[in-house]
């Protein structure tokens, strides 16, 4: 693992991240597709496609989280079939053997979902742009506008079913309590004190889950240090080295937790793809409300 100097200390570089300078030095490499995986909640009032057309990293393609889904599911962002994902990735000019770089317009929001998807379908060399597009612009690096016109490639998928948790499996985990469940939604949504943004979805959380809002894992669009991440997991009552299932509203920001865990060496964490939209919509799933169950971190 590469070592870097940070504030006078030698630290190990995160193998899942690439800096803006490192990416800028490699622009144009044929095996380095750059994927803008920006996505925004309706309440954020932003249009990811329009923002991509206005400005993006040179050579980047746009990954549409609302389109690369299972067309037969009523759930938002439902996992596509391996064939469906492969067709979408290939059309973007991405092969599973490439050195893929993903980023988003907020820095650490929706890009981890794309990182997780590419890995779940067989790509092994996938990294996030550290700080995302805001860091790229802050560094004064060039951008381009307009539509992307990638040369298609063939993406050969290898689906990792163990990376995904189904509703039936989630029910079993709740019954047995055999795995920690980390909920990436806000503490207010977790507690049930804030309404859900989707109609027909109950408020609250999966019984036994721990609240770990994805926002506490980053700072100004960048992932926190390993020590800070461990402290956040400890406050939530989660052992980052143990088995973990992540969840959120629709499977997008849960992947921020997966990314943080991978950065700490736990690449076996699983993601409940249906997340709270599925659990909270079902008529027969138990729901808890109340406190976020955080514990004090050790000094």
Query: Which residues are catalytically annotated?
Result: 248
Q: Cα–Cα distance between 74 and 70 in angstroms, integer?
A: 9
The answer to whether 109 and 215 have CB atoms below 8 angstroms apart is no
The answer to whether 99 and 45 have CB atoms below 8 angstroms apart is no
DSSP per-residue codes, the chain: --EEEETTEEEEPPTTEE-HHHHHHTTT-TT--EEE-----GGGT--HHHHHHH-BSTT-EE--TTTSS-TT-SSTTPPPPHHHHHHHHHHTT--TTS-EEEE-SSSSSSHHHHHHHHHHTT---EEEETTHHHHHHHTT---B-S---PPP--------GGGEE-HHHHHHHHHH--SEEEE-S-HHHHHTSS--SSTTPPSSB-TT-EE--GGGGEETTEEPPHHHHHHHHHHTT--TTS-EEEE-SSSSTHHHHHHHHHHTT----EEESSHHHHHHH-SS---B-S-----PPP-
- Choose among 185, 192, 177: nearest CA to 211: 185
279 phi and psi angles, rounded to 5 deg = -65, -45
């Amino acid at each position: 693992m590469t070592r870097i100097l940070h504030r006078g200390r030698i630290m190990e570089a995160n193998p899942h991240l690439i800096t803006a300078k490192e990416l800028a030095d490699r622009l144009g490499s044929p095996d380095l597709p750059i994927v803008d995986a920006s996505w925004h909640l309706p309440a954020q009032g932003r249009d990811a496609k329009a923002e991509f057309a206005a400005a993006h990293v040179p050579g980047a393609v746009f990954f549409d989280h609302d389109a690369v889904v299972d067309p037969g599911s009523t759930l938002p962002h439902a996992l596509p079939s391996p064939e469906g994902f492969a067709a979408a990735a290939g059309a973007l000019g991405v092969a599973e053997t490439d050195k893929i770089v993903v980023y988003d317009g907020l820095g650490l929001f929706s890009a981890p979902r794309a990182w997780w998807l590419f890995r779940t379908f067989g790509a092994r060399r996938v990294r996030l742009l550290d700080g995302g597009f805001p860091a790229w612009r802050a560094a004064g690096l060039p951008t381009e506008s307009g539509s992307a016109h990638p040369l298609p490639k063939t993406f050969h998928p290898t689906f990792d079913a163990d990376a995904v948790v189904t509703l039936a499996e989630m029910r079993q985990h709740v019954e047995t309590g055999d795995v920690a469940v980390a909920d990436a939604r806000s503490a207010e949504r977790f507690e049930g004190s804030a309404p859900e943004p989707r109609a027909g979805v109950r408020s609250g959380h999966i019984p036994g889950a721990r609240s770990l809002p994805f926002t506490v894992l980053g700072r100004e669009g960048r992932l926190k240090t390993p020590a800070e991440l461990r402290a956040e997991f400890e406050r939530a009552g989660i052992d980052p080295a143990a088995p973990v299932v992540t969840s959120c509203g629709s499977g997008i920001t849960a992947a921020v937790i997966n990314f943080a865990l991978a950065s700490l060496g736990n690449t076996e964490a699983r993601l409940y793809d249906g997340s709270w939209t599925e659990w909270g919509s079902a008529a027969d799933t138990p729901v808890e409300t109340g406190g976020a169950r955080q514990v004090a971190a050790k000094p």
